[in-house]
Structure 1
Amino acid sequence: MRRSLKFISLLMLVVVMGLTACSNGSKGASGGGKIDLSMTIWGSEDEKKIYQERLDIVKKTYPDINVKLNVVAGDYDQKVQTMIAGGTAPDIMMIAENYQAYAAKNQIIPLDDMIKANNVNMSERYSDDIANLMKYDGKQYGMPDRAGAMVLFYNKDLFDKAGVAYPTKEWTQEDLMAAAQKLTVKENGKTVQWGYYPGSWWPQWMQLIYQNGGSLFDENGKPTFNTEPVRKALQFMNDLTFTHGAGPTPTEIADMGNIGADPLFAQGKIAMETTGFWNIGSLAKVQGINWDISPIWGETNAFFNGFTITNASKHKEEAFKIIEALTTPEAQMPMIKAGQDAPATKAGLSSEEFLNAEYGGKKINMAAFSESKIYAEPFNPQWNEMMKLINDKLGVYFNNKASLDDTVTGIQSGLERLYK
């Protein structure tokens, strides 16, 4: 009988311990159990290696949280949407400019409550303009990780030869136009070097609108394409190309094989271009070109991505711990040292490793990124539809085959229908 009582007592103890263990496990990392998270990113194998290195750093802080990194090749948005629809959504997603489409569908969650609960000081971590890049409807939907402002690349040798002072953040659009004209060279009636190549890419014309004090929408969300700041920006671009000949026309670009601005700059055929961080790594491999970068005067665009948490995640608290830790100076350092991109954080942008990095054996004015003021673009759930509408009409205008008035009024009408 005593043996039976002992056995029953022992059995009850085992059951209680088992229930306790199960209870702890369900609490996740904070309760001592192991938590498995999944995270999707895009990029190359080299970039995956850097992200994994960063996750390994974070794991030292959260040893009970395991993060499986998944690089999605091809059409990232389409594939992650398929994952979400199929019930296999990741816990953490890297998202860029179209994060608002996910937020509008309730596929990612606002982070404000967790930011507050974890005492994350957003104003210390980010400048306001960068933090605002991932806000939607007044709420913070992502922790920005990379945020490279558009900067002005310029060929110092071509500037020196033309006797033109190097660009600064005090420049104006008029200064850009004057320099572009002086830096344009013709031989036997044919242009062999252009001062500036804006192209028809949306960041180029959009930043000119900001610099003119305009925007695409007013404070009530109504389209403002048919306004003076927009008209002035578009006129500037066509004047530069077709009136002054300081930028290559679409026909001239086609004759050169539809080559983009980055390779044209690398070949010394244009003296200036406005583009992002990615061009630094490319130019570092080019021999014989003496170049640098300058901040953009006024406001400019930025290319960015950040970490978000899916609504389908069963471990949102743990997922937040990971994305918060990934945006600390220690975890951003592998990205900075690898020259992968411009960090979004204040600490990263002001770090010695970022500011004093060498590219192609020389130092570049990397402070240009933090000195450029970023405008929070009008990203919205209808972004893709908006850009198609705009680009279809601007494509005709930038070929000098439509009037400015017809272009802006046509786009304005289309935007008003889209954003009823």
Structure 2
Amino acid sequence: MFRKAVTAAMVAGCLASLAACSNDTGATPGNSGGKSTNISFAYWGTNEENATIKSMVAAFEKAHPDIHVEPNWIQSDYEQKLQTSIAGGDAPTVAAISNTSLPSFFSAFKPVTVDAGTYYSQAVAKAGNVDGTDYTVPFVAKSKVLAVDTAAFTKAGVPVPSGTKPLSTQEFVTAAQKMTSGSGSARTYGSAPLWYDGWLLADGGSYYNADGTKCTMGDAAGIRAAKTVVDSQKPGGFAPTTIAVQGQDMFQWLTEGKVAMLPDFGPWNIAQFAALDTSRFRLVPMPGRGEPMEVDGLGITKSASSAQTTAAQTFTAFMSSDPAAQNLLASKTSALGVPVVKNSLSAFKSAAPKVNLQAFVDAVTHAVGTPYVKNKVQIESTFSTALDSRTAVGTGHEDPATVLPQLQTKCQQMLDATK
């Protein structure tokens, strides 16, 4: 949803043994008691993603004919429109929200119960937690991998990366440098531009310490990450500048041989990637510790009535953990992301059997969790804007070694002010 991208509350009993409780579609059957409830569900996405979500809603309604779900597909400015509807007293019963944006929305949601044992990744299970309380149940994971052109590696005499073992960050840089050649319009690069936030995590850094009480992006790891990003875009560097690629399709550059590696490759590109020559193009793990993972969850808004809340709990449980829904997250034409329950991973990988989709699954399994930080969106937006304007991570010219400690101090002041 942003990058510019729950556990089920009422599933005791059947969730422990889906095979015993499900009907012939694999969906957990409802028990209406003769009553019917209407709920609404707000979400974002492309045309293909909208079709996928509608198919999941249809599977739910088939399993629970006593509950009608009205899809509310918001095609643009999702968060702004969702915020407006909440403020105006017209909130949907259930809303999809990214864990990266949840700190700005959780006050509009009711607490939910999340059973961490339902999910194969602890980062997924904790994604909807704000200050010790769960406000969303996991719906879909959006991990990142590295897409590579093996022909570029062979030509440069560089070993092709493993599909299971990530390169170290230094191995990535060395390979990218060796695969960069030419000049002007004929120049080919070892990598597409690096994303600072992603590279920071991959190279061992972080925005905050483990409990979210201290800003840490200005320490040695943060400075090192920024220097790598800046150096990669200098004349003679291994990546084009962000200005040079503005409006350009980096996936197209990969297929044309203009870049050898495409970091930050998300699962929504699976169908497009599967159409390529898989003997030449491969998916492998992101270097180092990998990149930050977005987890989209489902929250039940506070305006929901008692009957709607009960129905919404059934709906979010189904979407979060029932294979009848989770198996539909990826197909040959579209992929919302990676399933959050283990039983649906085979269906996910079957969407593109010749592609190493296990790399996405491994990235979910080993994802590094991030702590809850109050005013996280404002703090990180302020930091990113300043970093981009002052250093060559963006359009500036100052030395990251000077700028980052200053920005860390500002971050700490903003963080302390929330206490």
TM-score normalised by the chain length of structure 1: 0.81
User: 1:303 is matched with which residue?
Assistant: 294
Structure 2 equivalent of residue 246 of structure 1: 238
Q: How far apart in 1 are the matches of 2:47 and 2:237?
A: 42
Unaligned runs of 5+ in 2: 1-29
Deviations 1:178-235 (A, max 9, x none): 1001111115x77610001234xxxx32233334433211225221222111111112
Shift of the 237–348 alpha-carbon distance from structure 1 to 2, 3 Å rule, reads: farther
> 1:260 Cα shift?
4.6
- Tell me if the contact between 2:267 and 2:338 (Cα under 8 Å) persists in the aligned partners: no
Counterparts of residues 145-160 of structure 1 (less than 5 Å): 145-160=139-154
User: Could you tell me which of 377, 381, 403 is aligned with 1:407?
Assistant: 403
How far 1:400 moved relative to its partner?
Answer: 6.2
- Decide which structure has the larger Cα Rg and report it: 1
Q: Tell me, what secondary structure is at the counterpart of 1:363?
A: coil
Q: What amino acid is aligned across from residue 369 of structure 2 in structure 1?
A: A
* Among candidates 89, 105, 113, match of residue 102 of structure 1: 105
CA contact (8 A) 2:103 2:377 kept: no
**Alpha carbons 1:210, 1:299 under 8 Å: kept:** yes
Q: How does 1:12-411 map to 2 (within 5 A)?
A: 31-96=33-98, 97-103=100-106, 106-112=107-113, 115=114, 121-168=115-162, 169-187=165-183, 192-199=187-194, 204-218=195-209, 219-242=211-234, 245-250=237-242, 253=244, 258-275=247-264, 276-284=266-274, 290-296=280-286, 297-314=288-305, 315-327=308-320, 328-337=322-331, 338-347=333-342, 350-351=345-346, 353-358=347-352, 363-372=354-363, 373-377=366-370, 380=373, 382-395=375-388, 396-397=390-391, 398=393, 399=395, 401-411=397-407
Query: What's the offset of the Cα at 1:67?
Result: 0.9
SS at match of 2:227: helix
Relative distance call for 1:250 and 1:101 in structure 2 (3 A) is closer
SS of the equivalent of 1:145 reads: strand
- Structure (1/2) with the larger helix percentage: 1
Change (3 A) 1:29 1:339: same
Q: Percent identity?
A: 24
Find the aligned partners of 1:289 and 1:279 in 2 and give their Cα distance: 18
Please report the TM-score for the alignment, with normalisation by the length of structure 2: 0.81
CA-based RMSD: 2.6
User: Is there any run of 5+ residues in structure 1 with no aligned partner, and where?
Assistant: 1-27, 116-120
2:110–2:301 Cα contact (<8 Å) kept: yes
Count of aligned residue pairs for this structure pair = 372
8 Å contact kept, 1:150–1:300: yes
Conserved 8 A contact 1:98-1:379:
no
Partner Cα distance (1:386, 1:265) in 2: 34
Change in 2 beyond 3 A, CA 1:59/1:220: closer
User: Residue 398 of structure 2 aligns to a residue in which SS?
Assistant: coil
Give SS of 1:386's match.
helix
- C-alpha distance in structure 2 between counterparts of 1:206 and 1:35, whole Å: 43
Structure ranking higher in strand proportion: 1
Task: Give the superposition deviation at 1:144.
Answer: 1.7
Measured in 1, the distance between the counterparts of 2:118 and 2:296 equals 19
Taking the aligned partners of 1:391 and 1:320, their CA distance within structure 2 comes to 37
